[in-house]
Structure 1
Amino acid sequence: MPAKPRVPLFLISGLAPVPNGELADLLRAGEPGTAVVHHDLRQITEGIVRRRVQLGSRDQLTVLELAHGCVSCTLREDLLPLLRKLARMPQVTRIVLRLDEAMEPEPVSWAIDHVLVGETPVREDVDLRGTFAVLDRTTWLADTTGDETLAERGIRASPEDDRTVAHVAISQAEFSDVLVLTGTPGDAWIGAKGAAILDRVAPSLPRVEMSTVDAAALLAAVPEDARRGEVTDMHGPLLRGQPPLRADCGVAVLVFTAQRPFHPERLHDAIDVLLDGVVRTRGRAWVASQPDVALWIESAGGGLGIGHAGPWLDAPDGPAWEDVSPERRTMASLRWDPVFGDRAQEIVVVTDQATPEEVDAALRGALLTDGELAAGKEVWLTYSDPFGEWHEEPCEDTEVDPSKHDANASKGKEENQ
């Protein structure tokens, strides 16, 4: 008997639970064999997750008690095995995964592709065909420009979750294939400003109105060149599509580039410019005290994170040219320096209250001076470095450590509705 073909999978993300559920219902109604999966994480800090599975006339709620209350554990211990189980059921022809409001689709997509369930990842059973981000225009502008944290809103994905609401809102929009708009802005200015931000953080994505679209039209809106769960290459292009170059409603784009390194302490002092009046920052930084590794800078709202993006091609332990994407090879070739290779600054900043000029001035002031540049790498390595190393919590490991995560510690109580 031939193996069942991979089952189409669609992801839904968004900060507004009611519209998210409405979109899932829309897709479920469009095809009888659609299974809808939703994990409610509102009590995850207490080690409790409520899982709902809808398939045909079945509507089943399972209360999971996890030894470690976090999204990573939920993925490994329940969601990924469940996706495989559903995909192998003959009556399931499509799966809709409705993510909790606190979840970003990119880590879930990565887990589907890379985390082993048994001996293989779940991508062997499901085919991610599209990701939809639901944007409620009533609240989206305030969400993306505010400093509120997920903890303050009561929707954390783990006890240690310190992400901002803005980070989640923008990450959901950036990673999607289609933006599904719902709700009404408070006034014309709010609507125009929200659209201006979308034009700059997700310039190539189609936008559809939930109130006027059906399941077939929604699926048809996924572009041919959609990313379909493709995880961000930290050394790849920083923007998918071309954002407007002119400012609109006070929202503008700065592409900061330079081919000399940052002084670590001056960059640390200047980094506050990315937290005040800035909607979004994403990019690679070359810091003099860490010459062989690119640092990844990302901010949204009042939150900012800096981590390692992997070695430069010119670094002693850098990847081989044939092992990186064609886009990365092309960009490296165009800017290759005989001394510094492909090392360079490339940071995209979407500004709101701040101006591109003041952000550019602050970042340029953090670059090495001509005298510091001439001093050379041996001197740069002596600079005090406030950035240090990037550390991940144990629950971010890509493989389960049995001493930390007991697979038998996840218990389920079935409740049929």
Structure 2
Amino acid sequence: MGTEVVLVAGLADHDVAEEVWRASPGSVLVRHDLRDLARGVVRRWVDGELTVLELAHGCVSCTLRLDLLPLLERLGGRVVVHLDPALEPEPVCLALRGVDVEVRAVVTVVDRLTWLADATGEDAMAERGLGAAEGDERTVAQVVVGQAEFADAIVLTGVGADPALDAVLDRLNPLAPRRDRRALDVPELLAAIPAGARRGRFDDGFGTLLRGQPPLEPAHGVEVVHFVARRPFHPMRLHRALDVLLDGVVRTRGRVWVASQPDVALWLESAGGGLNVGNLGPWLAAVDDWSGVDPGRRAAASATWDPRYGDRSQELVVVTATAAPGRITAALRGALVTDEELALVDELEFVDPFAEWHDEMEEL
């Protein structure tokens, strides 16, 4: 029998994982403490029984590969995993793809009092004493936004209402049902997760960026900027324009086409004051053989195919908290190549600050 797992994530201090565990008779509760991971020490509890692990390499991937994955396969049945606050569920689910484990749900706990400030801030995880390993350069914003965005369900802790927080979560993750911790009914929450939920599955970066059809109209100062364009960015002007995405913005995600790398689709992602740029792979216009390409991507590319550029395009979705949407659009529009540059694009030599950023989205 394979393992069915519920992952419980969140930076907030909570006992939601224990409640999920109690609501599932016969399940096992697993929890890891990674505070001493840099020294190669991991503390793990299985139904309250502590084991201290010493790893040769103090990194998250080693913890997952050498302990959590074999543990889940060995346990079988139903398991609730309370993730260390420093962990995002997405890389954990990525690791689980190689074993016989089914993700039933990812539940993220969000603190009403601190989440929005964290999601728009610049603090590093290491500055909070929460770094997952030596050299962890992630920001708190990147972690809390990633935890909420990848969730199948969200539990809200803390008192009071914050309409701006609700508006952000509506746009960041419109599919995830949200419930108050004080009146939490775990079976009802898990049953409310819709059929289209992730449950550990991933987007390939070439699919829709408006997953779950988030509301596009402004609410409580929160807005969605959907930027699209059919010409490349000038790499240096784009690099200078990125500052507009790091102040008053909760999340930016999308595909980027720079003139200096015409065959490569870049992935740009920001949260608060943290930003990553990664390599999605080639545009289909640069690929001769499409036989191994996902049919959905082939169909989407064919429907919008440009005679000159093929499937190359810009598409970014920005969820703002206090930033001015018009300023973001103007900055991105101003970073596109001009008509004159476009006419000479094959002859120009561009300084490309993105050439060295392709490894920035690798997991810890």
Contact 1:295 1:307 in 2 (8 A): yes
- Structure-1 residue corresponding to 2:355: 388
The answer as to 2:291 corresponding to 1:324 is no
For residues 176 and 84 of structure 1, the distance between their equivalents in structure 2, rounded to whole angstroms, comes to 23
For residues 376 and 167 of structure 1, the distance between their equivalents in structure 2, rounded to whole angstroms, comes to 35
Identity of aligned residues (%): 56
For residues 183 and 325 of structure 1, the distance between their equivalents in structure 2, rounded to whole angstroms, comes to 44
For residues 29 and 62 of structure 2, the distance between their equivalents in structure 1, rounded to whole angstroms, comes to 20
The answer as to 2:35 corresponding to 1:42 is yes
The answer as to 2:133 corresponding to 1:158 is yes
Contact 2:270 2:276 in 1 (8 A): yes
- Structure-2 residue corresponding to 1:183: 158
The answer as to 2:9 corresponding to 1:16 is no
For residues 215 and 338 of structure 1, the distance between their equivalents in structure 2, rounded to whole angstroms, comes to 52
Q: Quick one: higher RCO (CA 8 Å, sep 6+), 1 or 2? A: 1
- Structure-1 residue corresponding to 2:110: 135
For residues 252 and 348 of structure 1, the distance between their equivalents in structure 2, rounded to whole angstroms, comes to 10
The answer as to 2:14 corresponding to 1:25 is no
Greater Rg, structure 1 or structure 2? 1
What's the CA shift for 1:206?
Answer: 1.1
* Unaligned stretches of 5+ residues in structure 1: 88-92, 114-120, 398-417
Normalising by structure 1, we get a TM-score of 0.83
Contact 1:9 1:97 in 2 (8 A): yes
Give the aligned length. 363
- Structure-2 residue corresponding to 1:72: 61
* Unaligned stretches of 5+ residues in structure 2: none
Q: How does 1:17-416 map to 2 (within 5 A)?
A: 17=13, 19=14, 22-54=15-47, 59-87=48-76, 93-113=77-97, 121-122=98-99, 124=100, 126-185=101-160, 188=161, 191-316=162-287, 320=290, 323-326=293-296, 328-377=297-346, 379-380=347-348, 382-390=349-357, 392=359
In structure 2, relative to structure 1, the CA distance for the partners of 1:143 and 1:325 (3 Å cut) is: farther
What's the CA shift for 1:25?
Answer: 1.4
For residues 48 and 240 of structure 1, the distance between their equivalents in structure 2, rounded to whole angstroms, comes to 38
Normalising by structure 2, we get a TM-score of 0.95
What's the CA shift for 1:368?
Answer: 0.7
Residue deviations 1:49-106 (CA, integer Å, cap 9, x gap): 111111xxxx21111122221111111111111111111xxxxx31111111111111
| 3-state secondary structure, aligned to 1:340 | coil
| 3-state secondary structure, aligned to 1:168 | helix
Contact 2:175 2:194 in 1 (8 A): no
What's the CA shift for 1:396?
Answer: 5.0
| Paired residue type of 1:44 | L
For residues 280 and 170 of structure 1, the distance between their equivalents in structure 2, rounded to whole angstroms, comes to 7
Per mean C-alpha deviation after superposition, the further-off stretch among 222-231 and 339-348 is 222-231
- Structure-2 residue corresponding to 1:408: none
Contact 2:28 2:79 in 1 (8 A): yes
After TM superposition, the runs of 4+ consecutive aligned structure 1 residues lying more than 3 A away are 389-393
Contact 1:150 1:156 in 2 (8 A): yes
Contact 1:313 1:321 in 2 (8 A): no
Contact 2:177 2:189 in 1 (8 A): no
For residues 392 and 47 of structure 1, the distance between their equivalents in structure 2, rounded to whole angstroms, comes to 24
Contact 1:105 1:175 in 2 (8 A): yes
Residue deviations 1:370-394 (CA, integer Å, cap 9, x gap): 11111142x24x211111144549x
Residue deviations 1:218-268 (CA, integer Å, cap 9, x gap): 321221221110012111111221222222222111000000000111111
Residue deviations 1:117-160 (CA, integer Å, cap 9, x gap): xxxx21x2x22111111111121122112211111111111111
Contact 1:146 1:302 in 2 (8 A): yes
RMSD: 1.8
| 3-state secondary structure, aligned to 2:286 | coil
| Paired residue type of 1:367 | L
